[in-house]
Amino acid sequence: MRGAAVVPAPQRAPGGGPGGAPGARRRRLDLLLVERGLAPTRERARAAILAGEVLVDGQPVAKPGRLVPSGAIITVVPRRPRYVSRGGEKLEHALRTFGLDVRGAVALDVGASTGGFTDCLLQHGAARVYAVDVGRGQLDWRLRQDPRVVVRERTHAAHLDARTVPEPVQLATVDVSFISLVRVLPAVARRLAPGGLIVALVKPQFEAGRGMAPGGVVRDPAVHRRVLTDLVAWARRQGWGVAGVTASPLRGPKGNREFFLLLVPDPRQGGRALLDDAALAGAIEAAVAAPAEAEACGA
């Protein structure tokens, strides 16, 4: 759905006005988008409608289930992306859901890649972001030139030290692939200031173990639930607290579900209410059951 796309409506009946004759057949807007080839799936159609990208007879409509005349003229005008990748939209959801204010904070973005998380942190007021990635040359050029970004390439997350991140950080975000979070989170926690927090993106296909992700995709909600439960149990064995669990509103590559954990490595520093056993179980169930929209590319 790149660029403005318009599909002519069927010919209107005389005197019908916008959308066709009075009493004309009406259809759900998301279904019409798919039927006219303006969206490949209902998920994509729903995402475009909720994003305010869809006009019906020149007027924005923000409800996927809105019944519109089958003869209406439907236009799709994609928004300019707010962040350099849709990873920024994922993190924005987590910051909002967890009630995190990053204004003035020094942050660490582990697994920065193109820089979606870094971009989101900066746009929400972070004073400085250490962008760490094991690869090289992936970070968006605009972010690379931003004086608030400290680029740390060819750096493995499990080997973070004071030379890589020479000052304590108030918030660390983690988005890694092809490795379990338990391999990198201890090193990340050591770079935190007292009371610092970790927002970790959970990718079940890299946590579930061999044989649980055929084709690189985990579709079974029971596996999602087990992965989250196991990670929470691991964190608590380290003496950490868990202050939040939520689903990412966007799917990852190949349609994989993703989730966020808000971790408190030093609960003694206070400031965040921790989830008890019952609250954690409820939060995990809600996250697993939550809907996810269109596949996110370039996280």
In the structure encoding, which two tokens stand for residue 32, read together? 């019409």
* pLDDT at site 16: 40
Residue 191 falls inside a structural domain: yes
Domain assignment of residue 81, yes or no = no
Q: Which of 239, 230, 245 is nearest to 266 (CA)?
A: 239
Q: Per DSSP, what are the bridge partners of residue 174?
A: 110, 200
* 212 belongs to a structural domain: yes
Task: Please state the pTM of the whole predicted model.
Answer: 0.76
d(CA 205, CA 225): 12
Domain boundary among 26, 57, 76: 76
> pLDDT tens digits for 83-95?
999 999 999 999 9
Q: Which of 42, 76, 110 is the last residue of a domain?
A: 76
pLDDT of residue 153: 95
Splitting the chain (299 residues) into consecutive groups of 10 residues, what average pLDDT does each group show?
50 42 76 90 86 88 92 86 91 96 97 96 97 94 97 94 96 96 96 96 90 78 96 96 95 91 90 92 96 56
DSSP secondary structure letters along the chain: --S-EEEPPPPPPTT--TTSSTT--EEEHHHHHHHTTS-SSHHHHHHHHHTT-EEETTEE---TT-EEETT--EEE-PPPPSSSSTHHHHHHHHHHHHT---TT-EEEEET-TT-HHHHHHHHTT-SEEEEE-SSSS-S-HHHHT-TTEEEE-S--GGG--TTTS-S-EEEEEE---SS-GGGTHHHHHTTEEEEEEEEEEE-GGGTS-TTSSGGG----HHHHHHHHHHHHHHHHHTT-EEEEEEE-SEE-GGG---EEEEEES-GGG--SPPP-HHHHHHHHHHHHHS--EEEP---
Residue 55 has a pLDDT of 92
- Residue 282 in any domain: the answer is yes
Same domain for 270 and 239, yes or no, is: yes
If asked whether residues 150 and 290 sit together in one domain, one would say yes
Same domain for 69 and 99: no
Same-domain pairing of 165 and 105: yes
Look at residues 26, 48, 76 and tell me which one is the last residue of a structural domain: 76
pLDDT of residue 5: 59
Looking at the fold, whether 21 and 151 belong to one and the same domain comes out as no
Q: Residues 34, 54: one domain? A: yes
Q: Which domain holds residue 257?
A: 87-295
Q: Is residue 14 part of a domain?
A: yes
Domain count along the chain: 2
CATH number, position 239 = 3.40.50.150
Is residue 82 domain-resident?
no
Same domain, 167 and 42: no
Same-domain check for residues 61 and 165: no
Which CATH number covers residue 72?
3.10.290.10
